[in-house]
Amino acid sequence: MKQQVIEDVNIMPHLDRACGLDMHKDKIVGFISWKDGGNQGFREFGTYTCELKQIKVWLQENDIQHKKSLLPEETRI
């Protein structure tokens, strides 16, 4: 998997880190970025229950615990 580093990270100023989730039919892609842009994390997960539990563990390991730190994709269907 190719590592991509984004240098100009502009997340909500009151957050030290945030996570965006892009949800698809068969996978969920997560990206975590720290406010200073120094640390970034990217992972793909499946959509079965056991894999959804892995997302929870990943978020907790990266101290993404506040609901305003998690930014899911909005589809407006």
Question: pLDDT (tens digit, 9 = 90+) per residue, 13-39?
Answer: 567 788 888 888 899 999 988 877 778
pLDDT score of 40: 84
Asked if 28 contacts 53 with a C-beta cutoff of 8 angstroms, the reply is no
30 SS3 class = strand
pTM comes to 0.68
Domain ranges of the chain: 20-67
Query: End-to-end distance of the chain based on CA atoms, in angstroms?
Result: 31
**What pLDDT was estimated at residue 44?**
96
Instruction: Please state, for a pLDDT cut of 70, what percent of the chain lies above it.
Output: 66
Kindly give, in sequence order, each residue whose CB lies less than 8 Å from that of residue 24, ignoring residues fewer than 6 positions away: 47
- Tell me the two tokens of residue 18: 């945030």
